[in-house]
């Protein structure tokens, strides 16, 4: 079924969004720390991507304007193929302009991956710059010939001096020590490593004035804003740096509460610009708007009328798809002052046909629209930078994966997208996007569909799902392409730590997990988007002992149902064994925190009772006192230990075990490597009297092993060498 929309006004975001109207409201008339705090309030709390993702942002933010397949390297200025990453030589490195060692935020988010602080750089030049502070002078670098260095300083080439300065100013303003983040400060000296400081302030202020923002830097700011949803204020207004650190005084005129009406302009209809304009010198004598179709061509002027301190002007109606840049100019008795340059985008009108996502999916494995270009509508449910998910209503078959780099819609946006439907390795997706329309923002997301971890099916593809009470069965996501595994008893399901959010799970813990379900590389996985997508269960249950097992006559394994806290687990006063058995020490397993080994005085054949109390689990719950019965039958009660022979040793193809048994007995014999892994294990029935067991070791690799002979809970160990 097709739906027709007639003359619905929609915002087409086919260009990277710029500086939105009123973004810096609340900063006018401020200077010094007051202005720095106001800017921090605006730019903090940005959307955090992984460090790995920054290279994909570079493809847009630092693209060569003359060759979109290349990026411009910051210190050399060389245009380089954008996927040529590596170590050393002419490969690309990601340069932390504020050196990551200045405050030691290696791998610490969000500082480490903030793309405003990252630039593509020649690898060998990146090594030469190292973690030096910025200052003028020194020896010319042989490769980056516009750069100079000393043992502690680095001078950037003239073309990017201002870019570097404004990045340092951004970092010092963005990171003020809130919410566990670093507190970074730009200072007027060098040799700042390893403190969370960077210099040299006076030089950077000069660079800021020497090299003002150009179109390349403004585009970079816009691109990063589309990903991180925060801007570098010092690119939008370099004067901020002089007001905070340079001793500049604020002007007499302030521009506040700048707004446009309507918020989403209509094509060919005037756009109202409102602002509160005041002066410390009395009344505002006049105000007007300069506007144009590019940042550098504000050549059109309209006057503003006032009611009190509120000034209003109208920019004439514009054609759909047009970006308009504007700036407010006002005068008082002291002279003229201007606002920051803002922009707005004029909506497009969609008159085409829509195909519902439900029909695109077709309730079958292969979409009936495979290979066709269609328009769909829905709510954005996730965005990962190079792709995003759209869903149209709650329920099966209503989700679609969109493959498009650089769009970066916000979660909750209502959109219309035109693109080609394809089956990419059995996943229905839309790519080759030819048109995109933004309708409105901040919509509630569809309710997740609850599924079992082993119950994912085609209808769940690309919709928001939820699994409950799923136990983490493999926490080692670093070794599995950032995926960890959960199971609610119905089967395994992958959880993907995405480019947006990384959750560190604990094996054995239970989780409720929400997110869009993706089909990728032949397996289902939930893509997690933010912290609230993963909710760990609250452990209110006390720990208890599930098993007590003598290993040898002087060692007992105590197995708890969950991990326990080390101090109480290794407190020998929390254990008691009857029959005068003395507990000499308690040792928790290095990795399995649910296991404790007790070293005890020599046990002889018999039955015992152990009492365990006051052991605390990792959530702070204290166990209830518990008693466990166990028996010990020493292997020396069954075998004549002194008569056991292991030969030949070293052995090459067969290992022989000769011994005498006091009675008929079943023995478990294992060959264990030095890592503790059993590489051979078999049961043997021994008869009363003399026995000879022959073990084939032709397929065993050369090395040192341990031969373990066990009967029930008692064992003997022998060192053997396979040659």
What pLDDT was estimated at residue 302? 97
- The beta strands (E) that lie in 253-395 are given as 253-261, 271-279, 286-292, 300-303, 305-307, 310-315, 323-332, 335-338, 342-345, 348-350, 353-355, 373-383, 387-391
pLDDT tens-digit map of 550-596 = 877 788 999 998 889 999 999 999 999 999 999 999 998 866 788 99
Most confident by average pLDDT, 17-26, 42-51, 109-118, 633-642: 109-118
Contact 218, 19 (CB under 8 A): no
Length of the chain: 723
**Could you read off the pLDDT of 76-118 as tens digits, one per residue?**
999 999 989 988 889 999 999 999 999 989 888 899 999 999 9
Give the tokens for residue 27. Answer: 């900063």
Q: What DSSP element (H or E) covers 72? A: strand 67-72
Delimit the domains of the chain by residue range. Answer: 10-14+251-348, 32-244, 352-440, 449-536, 545-632, 636-722
Q: Which bin fits 530, alpha (ψ -120 to 50), beta or left (φ > 0)?
A: beta
pLDDT at 712: 65
18: CB partners within 8 A, 6+ apart: 218, 222, 323, 325, 343
The edge-to-edge listing of strands for the beta sheet with 575-577 is 575-577, 606-612, 626-632
Give pLDDT, residue 676: 62
How confident is the model at residue 702, as a pLDDT? 85
β-bridge mates for residue 691, sequence order: 659
Alpha helices in 349-466 (DSSP H): 357-361
H/E segment holding residue 243: helix 239-244
Rounded (10°) angle between helices 215-228 and 54-61: 140
Q: Please check whether residue 11 is in contact with residue 437, taking contact to mean a CB–CB distance below 8 angstroms.
A: yes
Helices (H) and strands (E) in the chain, counts: 10, 50
pLDDT above 70 for 339 = yes
**Which CATH fold topology does 352-440 show?**
OB fold (Dihydrolipoamide Acetyltransferase, E2P) (2.40.50)
CB count in 10 Å sphere of residue 498: 28
Residue 5 has pLDDT above 50, yes or no: no
Give me the pLDDT at residue 714, please. 65
Query: Each residue of 102-126: b (16+ CB within 10 Å) or e?
Result: bbebeeeebbbbbbbbbbbbbbbbb
Lowest mean pLDDT among 63-67, 75-79, 346-350, 397-401: 346-350
Q: How confident is the model at residue 11 (pLDDT cuts 50, 70, 90)?
A: very low
Report cis status (omega within 30 of 0) of the bond before 376. no
**Under CATH, which number does the domain 545-632 receive?**
2.60.40.1220
277-296 pLDDT, tens digit per residue, is: 999 999 999 999 999 999 99
* CATH architecture, domain 449-536: Beta Barrel (2.40)
How far is 23 from 39, CA to CA, in rounded Å?
10
Phi-psi region of 489 (alpha: psi -120 to 50; beta: other; left: phi over 0): left
Reported as a single tens digit per residue, the pLDDT across 477-507 is 988 999 999 999 999 999 999 888 888 898 8
- In sequence order, what DSSP letters do the residues of 527-555 get, joined into one string? EP-SGGGEEEPP--SPP-EEEEEEEETTE
The helix or strand, by DSSP H or E, that contains position 722, with its residue range, turns out to be strand 714-722
> What pLDDT score does 675 carry?
59
Same fold, 545-632 and 636-722: yes
What is the rounded average pLDDT of the residues 221-249?
Answer: 95
Q: Which CATH number fits domain 636-722: 2.60.40.3080, 1.10.760.10, 2.10.109.10, 3.30.70.2860?
A: 2.60.40.3080
pLDDT in tens, 421-475: 999 999 999 999 999 988 888 899 999 999 999 999 999 999 999 999 999 999 9
Fold for domain 10-14+251-348? Immunoglobulin-like (2.60.40)
């Amino acid at each position: 079924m097709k739906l027709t929309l007639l003359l619905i006004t929609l915002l087409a975001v086919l260009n990277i969004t710029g500086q939105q109207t009123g973004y810096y409201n609340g900063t006018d008339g401020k200077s010094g720390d007051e202005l720095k705090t106001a800017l921090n309030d605006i730019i903090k709390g940005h959307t955090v991507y992984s460090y790995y993702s920054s290279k994909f942002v570079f493809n847009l933010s630092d693209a060569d304007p003359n060759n979109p397949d290349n990026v411009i390297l910051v210190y050399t200025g060389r245009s380089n193929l954008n996927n040529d990453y590596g170590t050393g030589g002419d490969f690309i490195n990601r340069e932390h302009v504020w050196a990551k060692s200045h405050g030691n935020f290696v791998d610490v988010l969000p500082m480490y991956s903030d793309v405003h602080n990252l630039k593509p750089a020649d690898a060998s030049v990146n090594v030469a710059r190292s973690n030096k502070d910025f200052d003028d002078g020194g020896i010319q670098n042989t490769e980056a010939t516009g750069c100079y260095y000393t043992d502690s300083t680095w001078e950037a080439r003239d073309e990017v001096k201002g870019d570097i300065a404004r990045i340092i100013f951004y970092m010092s303003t963005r990171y003020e020590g809130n919410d566990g983040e670093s507190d970074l400060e730009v200072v007027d000296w060098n040799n700042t490593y390893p403190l969370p400081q960077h210099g040299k302030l006076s030089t950077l202020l000069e660079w800021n004035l020497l090299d003002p923002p150009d179109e390349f830097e403004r585009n970079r700011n816009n691109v990063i804003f589309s990903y991180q949803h925060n801007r570098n204020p010092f690119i939008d207004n370099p004067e901020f740096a002089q007001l905070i650190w340079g001793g500049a005084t604020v002007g007499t005129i302030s521009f506040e509460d700048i707004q446009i009406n309507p918020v989403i302009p209509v094509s060919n209809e005037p756009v109202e610009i409102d602002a509160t304009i005041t002066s410390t010198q009395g009344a505002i004598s006049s105000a007007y708007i300069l506007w144009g179709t590019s940042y550098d061509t504000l050549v059109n002027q309209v006057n503003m009328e006032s009611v009190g301190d509120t000034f209003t002007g109208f920019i004439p109606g514009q054609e759909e798809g047009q970006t308009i840049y504007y700036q407010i100019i006002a005068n008082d008795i002291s002279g003229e002052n201007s606002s920051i340059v803002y922009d707005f985008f004029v909506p497009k009108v969609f008159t085409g046909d829509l195909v519902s996502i439900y029909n695109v999916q077709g309730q079958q494995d292969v979409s009936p629209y495979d290979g066709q270009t269609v328009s769909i509508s829905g709510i954005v449910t996730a965005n990962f930078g190079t792709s995003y998910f759209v869903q149209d209503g709650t329920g099966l078959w209503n989700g679609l994966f969109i493959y498009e780099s650089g769009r970066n819609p916000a979660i909750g946006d209502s959109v219309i997208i035109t693109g080609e439907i394809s089956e990419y390795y059995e996943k229905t997706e839309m790519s080759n996007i030819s048109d995109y329309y933004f309708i409105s923002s901040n919509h509630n997301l569809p309710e997740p569909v609850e599924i079992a971890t082993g119950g994912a099916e085609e209808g769940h593809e690309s919709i928001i799902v939820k699994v409950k009470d799923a136990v983490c069965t493999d926490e080692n996501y670093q070794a599995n392409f950032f995926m960890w595994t959960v199971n609610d008893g119905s089967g395994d399901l992958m959880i993907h730590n995405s480019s947006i959010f990384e959750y560190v799970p604990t094996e054995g813990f239970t989780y409720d997990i929400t997110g869009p379900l993706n089909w990728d590389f032949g397996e289902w996985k939930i893509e997690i988007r933010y912290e609230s997508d993963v909710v760990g269960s609250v452990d209110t249950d006390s720990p208890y002992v599930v098993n007590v097992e003598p290993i040898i006559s002087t060692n007992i394994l105590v197995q708890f149902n969950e991990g326990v806290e080390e101090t109480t687990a290794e407190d020998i006063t929390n254990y008691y064994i009857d029959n005068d058995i003395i507990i000499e020490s308690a040792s928790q397993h290095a990795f399995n925190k649910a296991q404790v080994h007790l070293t005890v005085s020599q046990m002889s054949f018999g039955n015992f009772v152990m009492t365990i109390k006051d052991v605390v689990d990792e959530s702070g719950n204290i166990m209830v006192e518990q008693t466990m019965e166990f028996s010990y039958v020493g292997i020396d009660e069954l075998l004549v230990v002194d008569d056991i022979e292991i030969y030949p040793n070293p052995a090459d193809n067969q290992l022989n075990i000769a011994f005498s048994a006091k009675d008929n007995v079943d023995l478990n014999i294992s060959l264990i490597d030095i890592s503790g892994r059993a590489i051979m294990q078999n049961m043997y029935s021994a008869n009363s009297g003399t026995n000879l067991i022959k073990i084939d070791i032709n397929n065993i690799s050369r090395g040192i092993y341990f031969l373990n002979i066990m009967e029930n809970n008692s064992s003997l160990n022998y060192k053997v060498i396979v040659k």
